[in-house]
Amino acid sequence: MDIQLTARRALVGGASRGIGRAIAIELARQEASVVALARDDKALAALVAELPREAGQQHQYLAVDVSDGEALIAMVTELAASSPISILVNNSGGPPAGPAHDASPDQFEAAFGQHLLANQRLLQALLPGMRESGYGRVINIISTSVKEPIPGLGVSNTIRGAVASWAKTLARELGPSGITVNNVLPGFTATERLDYFFEMQAEQSGQDVAEVRQQAAARVPARRFADPAEIATAVAFLASPAAAYINGINLPVDGGMTGSL
């Protein structure tokens, strides 16, 4: 099975920590040249310094806020002009927690810009190179909430669903060019985001954080939370030549937690 990414170039969003960081490491292990994107210049530099390197691999990073559309487009367009990027991993931190009915329109607008609009800008900057090479992989890291909305994440549920529909539409449009568009849906994953979510739940319920964590783990058939590296391996497969006929799917990586098909 051909899952190696030798001579491929990948742009990974949210790469300074958590799932994004794990994806950057795994793609580099599969011999892709990685461009790590996030806001934290120091964390990105540290990541790039430790990425695996074989002959021909060249890793670099872009420190930019994806909500700054002009800066994002300028930096990524310049980057792609030097050498095409054929793998795009759209990944960004989730919106603040809270019920949908309490969220302000500004919160929805900010989340829409950080996720869907940033994804669209990145896609349009990289699409010419993908089309020219006849190889493209667009992989969106979203959430199991596109199948089952998660209580307390009203804005996130809404925006993640929009990204999922965007991806399904693109899969049909871009398939004839050899470009696939898929979504990876992480379940409970051991990241700072999950810690924040459990702390919020504990505060609202009056429970201890450890108790909230234990109850959450009990909801997962695997009885544990994912390691970010386990999400990364799914992404690496979808990015590879072996996944050429997988297009337009939502792939839960959740230990069996999602109850819907």
Task: Say if strands 87-90 and 60-63 run parallel, antiparallel, or are unpaired.
Answer: unpaired
Query: Which residues, 6+ apart, have CB-to-CB distance to 37 below 8 Å?
Result: 11, 12, 13, 14, 15, 44, 61, 62, 64, 66
- Judged against a pLDDT cut of 90, whether residue 261 lies above it is answered with no
**Separation of CA 178 from chain center:** 21
Query: Which residues, 6+ apart, have CB-to-CB distance to 162 below 8 Å?
Result: 112, 115, 116
Cα distances (angstroms) measured from residue 121 to each of 114, 115, 162 = 11, 10, 15
pLDDT tens digit string along 222-251? 999 999 999 999 999 999 999 999 999 999
Is residue 160 within 8 A of residue 144, CB to CB? The reply is no
pLDDT tens digit string along 57-68? 999 999 999 999
pLDDT of 235 = 98
Report which of 138, 126, 93, 128 is spatially closest to residue 111, judged by C-alpha positions.
93
CA distance 248 to 241: 16
**Separation of CA 46 from chain center:** 20
Q: What is the pTM of this model?
A: 0.96
Q: What angle do CA 64, 69, 73 make, to 5 degrees?
A: 75
- Residues 204-224 have a mean pLDDT of 94
Amino acid at 167: A
- Judged against a pLDDT cut of 90, whether residue 200 lies above it is answered with no
- Judged against a pLDDT cut of 90, whether residue 188 lies above it is answered with yes
Percent of the chain with pLDDT over 90: 91
pLDDT of 190 = 95
Banded pLDDT at 221 (limits 50, 70, 90):
very high
Percent of the chain with pLDDT over 70: 100
- Judged against a pLDDT cut of 90, whether residue 197 lies above it is answered with no
Taken in order of first residue, the domains within the chain and their CATH numbers are: 9-187+227-253 (3.40.50.720), 191-225 (no CATH)
182-221 burial: b if 16+ Cβ within 10 Å, else e: bbbbbbbbebebbeebbebbbeeeeeeeeebbeebeeebe
Is residue 161 within 8 A of residue 188, CB to CB? The reply is no
- Residues 194-200 have a mean pLDDT of 90
Mean pLDDT (the chain, rounded) = 96
More confident residue, 48 or 151: 48
pLDDT of 191 = 95
